[in-house]
Amino acid sequence: MGGNNRYVYTIYGVNNPRVIFNNNTTDPATRQQHPGINQPGIEITEDEMWIVNETVYSQKPQGITVHFYRPSNWEYWDTRIYFYEDNNILMSWPGTLMNSQMDDNWLSYTIYGVDNPKVIFNDSKNKQIPSVLQPGHLVTQDVWFKDNTWTIYELD
């Protein structure tokens, strides 16, 4: 594993191999796979390839990293980020789990392939920032959020 939910694997001695990503279960009710079941794998044709959110890139894609300082009254393991663009829903609620930065309550998530994401943080239950019925916060570069303050540099 390479961090930020990134997995790295090197394939030696095979020309144009195909890869399939899955969640290591055969139970049809919970199985997840990309490409889908009965679909051919992704052909690896470059020395280095990146597959992010089911999109294939020939080089590391540009991303926006959002850092979030989890409030003390939120469940640690259930902190999620939900992001969307105006008129474009990109994921289902409550979003995806954020990644621990192994430093206090800081969590992060890198958004790839989205130019103007609006983000909402939530605890998978009834707490969220911005609050219910408020639009998400527009992010266009790496940002940090702590104690209701947004910055482009890490807060203490």
48 and 96, same domain (yes or no): no
Distances (CA, A) of 28 to 34, 40, 41: 14, 18, 19
User: If pLDDT is split at 50, 70 and 90, which confidence band does 4 have?
Assistant: low
Quick one: 77 exposed, middle or buried, by C-beta within 10 A (0-12, 13-18, 19+)? Answer: exposed
Model pLDDT for residues 122-138, shown as the tens digit of each residue: 998 889 999 999 999 99
2 and 43, same domain (yes or no): yes
Q: Is residue 156 part of a domain?
A: no
Most confident of 1-10, 50-59, 61-70, 72-81: 61-70
CATH number, domain with residue 117: 2.60.40.10
Give residue 15's domain range.
Answer: 1-59
Task: Specify the number of domains making up the chain.
Answer: 2
pLDDT value at residue 102: 66
70 and 52, same domain (yes or no): no
pTM, 2 dp: 0.71
130 and 93, same domain (yes or no): yes
